Amino acid sequence: MRWGLLTLAVLAAGCGGSSSAKDFGEELFQDARLSESQFNSFSCSTCHADTATPEASRILSGYTLHNSAFRPSWWGGYETNLLDAVNFCYVNFMRGVSPLAPEDPKSRALYEYLVSISPDTEAPALPFTVVKDIGDIPRGNATRGAEVYRAACQTCHGETHSGKGRLTELASILPEVTDSYGSIFPGVPKQLVVIEKVRHGQFFGVGGSMPLYSREALSDEDLGALLAFLGL
């Protein structure tokens, strides 16, 4: 149980029962207000399922958090402390001003909820392969690309061409946003900018607050199909 120096274990022992904390944690999992930033629209559930088998109709950037609490590491081995793994998302994608502290009631609640959906105390770490070097990829089938868009992109970006139903007005409208890439990223083919955004997310200043898609989350084949659907 590696959650900040085990502070939460002390809190749990000192407070009567943990069911209310678990319930609060489940609410936080679904609520973008976990982050106090007025510019955040993400909740944990935007990128993660909390069931053993995620919905087949969605392609999520993150693994399900079912059985996540007792993994030996997270983020492909980069993080070995569960709260640090949570804070990686909280700070980088949810615009949290400062990391959640172990003694924060929201931290305890999230911990209690993650434990409640983690029956395997010896759950293995999961691979997370970041595509480091961005290059063009073969185009796939545009029909498949439409399915990929609906499963992976539409929750945040809304419908193509109109953005109808997008998570926030800050989310770009696809593929029209790529028309501006020639001036924003001079000399870089716009399809490479899209690949960069998908594979590296908000890092390197090209993806807003977008989370990255690892090879495990989105294959090159599905990404190539998505590009074909978007006409890139």
Q: pLDDT digit string (tens) for 144-155?
A: 999 999 999 999
For residue 74, the cross-strand partners are: 79
For the ranges 111-125, 152-166, 193-207, the lowest mean pLDDT is seen at: 193-207
| Phi, psi for 47 (deg, rounded to 5) | -115, -15
**What tokens does 146 get?**
């439409």
Q: Cβ of 205: how many Cβ atoms within 10 Å?
A: 7
Question: Which residues have a Cβ under 8 Å from the Cβ of 220 and sit 6 or more positions away?
Answer: 137, 138
Whether residue 207 is predicted with pLDDT greater than 90 in this model: the reply is: no
Give the residue range(s) of CATH 1.10.760.10 domains in the chain.
142-230
Supply the pLDDT for residue 18.
64
pLDDT tens per residue across span 43-55: 999 999 999 999 9
Determine the topology of domain 142-230 in CATH.
Cytochrome Bc1 Complex; Chain D, domain 2 (1.10.760)
**What tokens does 23 get?**
């319930």
The closest alpha carbon to 226, from 130, 127, 154, belongs to: 154
**What tokens does 230 get?**
């978007």
pLDDT tens per residue across span 71-88: 999 999 999 999 999 999
* 158 neighbors 166 (Cβ within 8 angstroms): yes
d(CA 213, CA 171): 17
d(CA 77, CA 194): 26
**What tokens does 49 get?**
């399922």
Domain 7-116: give its CATH code: 1.10.760
Whether residue 6 is predicted with pLDDT greater than 60 in this model: the reply is: no
